[in-house]
């Protein structure tokens, strides 16, 4: 393997970093718009404007509003689970009460950080998974 190959695998390309930054901006804007307007009234053009991208760019990343909402839910879930997994590793071996305190604290902190969105998305997710 030559030096150039090592660099490619060690660091994402500029294009990949721009794509990820764009997706994160869209998701942050979508969270605000969904929380403010509601899940059904949120408009893709409003989300695109808030993210600072064109509507076409938005559709390059997400097929439609449902795909965007699914992507947002997936991203927030992954963020929460990643934080929880790290915390669980950090407190392994500590008393159960302390571990539970950490886990519940992280969950509540995540809900607080995304309060408006959780308020409208949680009922939707509960209904969707009510057959479980």
| pLDDT reported for residue 10 | 75
What are the strands, taking DSSP E only, across 42-122?
none
What pLDDT does residue 37 have? 92
pLDDT (0 to 100) of residue 91:
95
Q: Based on the structure, what is the number of domains in the chain?
A: 1
- CA end-to-end distance (rounded Å), the chain: 49
* CA nearest neighbour of 85 among 112, 110, 106: 106
CA distance 97 to 100: 5
- Whose structure tokens read 């790290």? 86
Angstrom CA distances, 20 to 7, 15, 29, 45, 68, stand at: 19, 9, 14, 20, 14
Helix (H) or strand (E) holding 132: none
User: Please, what is the Cα angle at 21 between 16 and 26, to 5 degrees?
Assistant: 125
Q: Which CATH number covers residue 40?
A: 1.10.357.10
> Residue 48 sits in which domain range?
3-128
Q: What is the pLDDT along the chain (132 residues), one digit of tens a residue?
A: 455 555 556 789 999 999 999 999 999 999 999 999 988 899 999 999 999 999 999 999 999 999 999 999 999 999 999 999 999 999 999 999 999 999 999 999 999 999 988 888 877 776 676 665
Q: Are 42 and 65 in contact (CB under 8 A)?
A: yes
Q: Is-above-0.95 flag for pTM?
A: no
Per-residue model confidence (pLDDT) at position 52: 97
pLDDT given at position 118: 86
pLDDT of residue 104: 96
């Amino acid at each position: 393997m030559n030096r150039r190959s090592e660099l490619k695998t060690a660091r994402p390309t500029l294009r990949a970093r721009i794509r990820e930054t764009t997706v994160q901006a869209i998701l942050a804007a979508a969270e605000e718009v969904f929380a403010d307007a509601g899940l059904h009234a949120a408009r893709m053009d409003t989300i695109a404007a808030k993210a600072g991208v064109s509507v076409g760019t938005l559709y390059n990343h997400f097929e439609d509003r449902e795909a965007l909402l699914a992507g947002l839910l997936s991203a927030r879930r992954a963020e929460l689970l990643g934080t929880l997994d790290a915390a669980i590793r950090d407190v392994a071996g500590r008393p159960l009460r302390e571990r539970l305190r950490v886990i519940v604290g992280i969950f509540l902190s995540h809900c607080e950080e995304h309060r408006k969105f959780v308020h409208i998305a949680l009922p939707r997710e509960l209904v969707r998974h009510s057959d479980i």
